Structure 1
Amino acid sequence: MLHRQSLAAGAAGILLAAGIGATIPAGATTAPPRSTAPPATAQVVNVRWGVHPTFDRLVVDVRGKLPPVQVTPVKALHYDGSGQRVPLPGKFFLEIRLSPAAAHNESGQSVYRGPRLVKLSLPALKGVALTGDFEGVVTIGAAFHTKPVYKTFVLHSPERFVLDVAHPAPVCHR
């Protein structure tokens, strides 16, 4: 009896492999296709940083096409919506604004995996915060003890915005 079941299972496997008795039409798939297309609105998914010999680097990772980015010196950082001051150390601040962009998907779930608020002790960069994700605008704040001297550029594959901030000049005491 066990031998007959093995033969039946083997024959069924051969028939299925040969396509005999298949009920799925050619070109059909059994699983829904997965979308690999980039999102319609750029999604801010992470913020990270690093120290280099003469500068600190802040990188904003984006899924989709990188939108226009504005970097603006501001007197203080505030959370969008509430207007509350962002509790980061520093005397100088930069607001990085990406628009149109979102830090959430079409279902309203956050796609942002970076820090919401982090205090740092790098030579130039003293803190970073996600300060807003509202009506197609994502804002990120950066804090410094000295006036930041910076340059910006874009890198691709994957899409990311880069802010390089020069280390402060050493203070000589004589």
Structure 2
Amino acid sequence: MILNCRPVATALAGLLLAGSAAVGTTASASAAPTTVPPATAQVVNARFGVHPGYDRIVLDIKGPLPRVSVIRVDQVRYDPSGKPVPLRGSFFLRIRLAPAAAHDSAGHNVYRGPRLVALNLPHLRGFALAGDFEGVVGFGVGVRDHGAVHVFTLQNPNRVVMDVR
């Protein structure tokens, strides 16, 4: 049995066109502009704190939470140049957030945190923004010793947290 679907398809297309015209009219008639969160995570700040037994890094995020990876490296390098980051510390960690950016869609910086800072905390010795390139934001961390690292995310507001023992 062969069914002729053309009348149904034509009717559906007409409804879709009518619906999209109505949506367009409603959206343009709206008096109050709305703020749309970014589709890619924007890293806007970094802060540090001392707690009993560990130091904490908090990365403030606007928009969705990105994937986060932390690895131990011999040396942190800037993206994309590959030049070494002059971090204080005996050991180094590389934090990568993706998809993420430290700039907006017009190319303006949204990251307001430190670019390169020496720290004198019990475990943290240095911190640097190491890259904002092709959807990846990278940071370098200089630490005093090979302690444990615990990374997690929190919401409302969105942030990435890294505890270093």
TM-score, normalised by the number of residues in structure 2: 0.80
CA drift at 1:28: 5.3
Q: Which residue of 2 aligns with 1:118?
A: 117
- Using the alignment, how far apart are the partners of 1:145 and 1:124 within structure 2? 5
Report what 1:150 is aligned to. Answer: 149
> Max radius of gyration: which structure?
1
1:140 matched to 2:139: yes
Structure 2 letter corresponding to 1:61: D
Query: RMSD across aligned C-alpha pairs, in angstroms?
Result: 1.2
| Number of the residue aligned with 2:100 | 101
* CA 1:108–1:123: 2 relative to 1, 3 Å: same
Unaligned runs of 5+ in 1: 1-26, 167-174
| Paired residue type of 1:141 | G
Gaps of 5+ in 2: 1-28
Structure 2 vs 1, CA of residues 157 and 28 (structure 1 numbering), >3 Å: closer, same or farther? closer
- Determine what percentage of the aligned residue pairs are the same residue: 55
Superposition deviation, residue 145 in structure 1: 2.1
Q: In the alignment, what sits opposite 2:23? A: none
1:8-87 equivalence runs, <5 A: 29=31, 33=33, 35-87=34-86
- Structure 1 residue runs of 4+, over 4 Å off? none
More helix by share: 2
CA contact (8 A) 1:45 1:113 kept: yes
Aligned to 1:89: 88
- 1:69-109 deviations in whole A, cap 9, x for unaligned? 00111110111122111111112111110000000000000
SS of 2:109's equivalent?
Answer: coil
Q: Alpha-carbon deviation of 1:153?
A: 1.1
Query: Which residue is 2:126 aligned to?
Result: 127
Instruction: Return the TM-score normalized by structure 1.
Output: 0.76
Match of 2:38, SS state, is coil
Could you list the per-position Cα deviations for residues 101-122 of structure 1 after superposition, in whole angstroms to 9, with x for gaps in the alignment? Answer: 0000000000000000000000
Tell me, in whole angstroms, the C-alpha distance in 2 between the residues paired with 1:57 and 1:36.
31
